[in-house]
Chain A
Amino acid sequence: MSHLVLQALCKKYHQFVAVAETSLQIKEAEFISLLGPSGCGKTTTLQMIAGFTEPTSGRVLLNGADLTPLDPNRRGLGMVFQSYALFPHMTVADNVSFGLEMRKVSAPERTKRVADALELVGLSDFRHRYPVQMSGGQQQRVALARALVIRPPVLLLDEPLSNLDAKLREDMQEELLRIQRSLGTTTVMVTHDQSEAMAMSDRIVVMDHGRVEQVGAPEDVYAAPASDFVARFLGRMNMLDATISLSSGAALLNIAGYTLAAPDTMTEGPVRVSIRPEMLFLADEGVPGTIGRRAFHGAFWVCEVITAAGPVSFIHPNTGRPAPHTGAAVRLGIRPAGMTLVPAAAVII
């Protein structure tokens, strides 16, 4: 039996559909991310789970019990907010203790559990500080401790890391994951950052315009995106127009003047080719073109190559040989199994 279940959950504002009927089964101790651009309905979905937004229809079930009619304070779910939402007039210890007070936990046990929670997030020495006296990363940890100290069955994270700078965000990703794994708390995170979602989640739910586009393990969704939107949203994706021709029974694929063998199942005609940038490499044989813009990322370059089929981006690893300069003529090889072919007719439909 699934732990947390969304049953045809739907939210409409007059004519506007914020979240179309969404169903999702989340297993115990699973880390799930709702991923999508702003306005895709991911935050509304989280708000409906938390109880801050009333669904137009559908239900939220926890261990088979219907949470939908309950007020947020009766659901017992832990939540970390984008702005952390710490109580500014209370010390760190009082912030963390608040949820326990609401549960009428005795004072001695409260002290112990607050100390444990603060130790878990590495803030034991900060218990008497006020939120204004702490950095963003520290406030984030307090918010996490405050949500976890009540031992919630489900932890809801609303863009928890988006207010942190890049380096701190990576550290916090690891930290958050370590804590989540050690406690085994079922976690639903909302984020617009695809790399964050892929790095942390057991499964990701890609959403757009209030609809779920695809659900799956990050590797699977990345390797086999269900739609153009998912392909473009998760990492980069080159989409090129090419043609298939048949010659003495074998199918040949022609991309911008470069011919290679295609699967025999293909029929003659135009096709759409999807290739990830990391599946392309500099080679003696391959798609011809000239280098356009290039950007250095430390571990690799992202280069744009202008080909007859349009611009293509590829990743050149920084492993000794620098990337060619703008204007250089190059050929791009394609790694086997690095591309997906869809007949162009299918794309049009």
Chain B
Amino acid sequence: MTRTMPHGGLGWVWIGPATLLFLGVMIVPLIMTFLLTFYSWSSTAGIVVGFSWANWAEVLGDPYFFTVLWRTLHYSTLATLIVLVVGVPEAIIIARMSKRWRGFCLLAIVGPLLVSVVARTLGWTLLFGGANGLVNQLLMQLGLIRYPLPFMFTSTGTIIALAHVLMPMMVLSVSASIQKINPQIENAARSLGAPYHVVMRRIILPQILPGILSGTLIVFAMAASSFATPAIIGGRRLKVATTLIYDEFTNTLNWPLGAVIAVLLLVGLLAIFVGCNALMARRDQGGAR
């Protein structure tokens, strides 16, 4: 009896704290947020506990909310595309550098992660913030432009800033999968007669695809749920899901409505994640046939 008890009993002791933390800060708030979507709200009575589909009907029926959610998708998709186009070659180039330069470049890429997103985003404001932005000032003094480049409070600016802030995630993810490749494999392909671009397309890319896919997922999810960058660059006019939720919770105090949008954002991201995982699993299964 004493032989089996400590094992069975101790197991729960070990995972208990983690389970409690997970339940307390993750599961319970999620359930509460979900329940909140069915409560009602009025400017006079505030939040009233109950059950109604009114908030869902309001969000799904009003084109304004649709515009905001569409904008969120639009920003995250484009930012992810930029990150893909710039980040993947960047990781490949870095992998080919000499050891010293590779270390330096990786540090330069990872370093910004140590700085708050707010600070990194405000950097763009310093460069492009109206007529006082450094770059705008310089370009205007050189006579290349007559008016400051529109960057702040534009969609283009927000997307570029999002791509910049999230770039390290893609580079790190792809770098990790490049490092797993046996360097002799490339030589093997070369000795079999493959020119450089064929080695890249048929040998290297298929092997780093899992890294690219997970990097894409991470970047997309972080872009869609980012707050500071769209809040600072996009401003109050170009609202995305997160800034809208923030406004509903803190300004309008219409928590139930904010909760509906939060749940929609979460469900959308989950669907994309699950879909991509299923795709990858199918590919892996095909690989192990």
Contact = CB atoms under 8 A, between A and B. Distances in A.
B192 A89 contact: no
Given A85-B182, A89-B206, A102 B191 contact: no
A206 B189 CA distance: 30
B184 A98 contact: no
User: For the side of the interface on A, what is the size category?
Assistant: 20 to 34
A141 to B, nearest CB: 15
A176 interface: no
Give the most central of B184, B190, B191: most A CB within 10 Å: B191
Contact of B203 (A76, A87, A99): A87
A222 interface: no
B207 A88 contact: yes
Contact of B193 (A82, A89, A99, A130): A99
A87 B205 CA distance: 12
Does more than half of chain B's interface fall in helix, strand or loop, or is it mixed?
A: helix
Contact of B207 (A85, A89, A103, A130): A89
Contacts of A89: 206-207, 287
B184 A81 contact: yes
B184 A82 contact: yes
A79 B207 contact: no
B287 A73 contact: no
A52 interface: yes
B287 A52 contact: no
B190 to A, nearest CB: 4
B287 A130 contact: yes
A143 B188 CA distance: 9
28 contacts: A51-B190, A52-B187, A72-B187, A73-B190, A73-B193, A76-B193, A77-B191, A79-B188, A81-B187, A85-B185, A85-B187, A86-B188, A87-B203, A88-B185, A89-B206, A98-B189, A98-B192, A98-B194, A98-B202, A102-B192, A102-B193, A102-B194, A130-B287, A133-B288, A143-B188, A146-B192, A147-B192, A150-B193
Given A87-B189, A128-B289, 14 more contacts: A50-B191, A72-B187, A73-B190, A73-B192, A74-B193, A75-B191, A79-B188, A79-B191, A86-B188, A89-B207, A98-B189, A99-B192, A147-B191, A156-B191
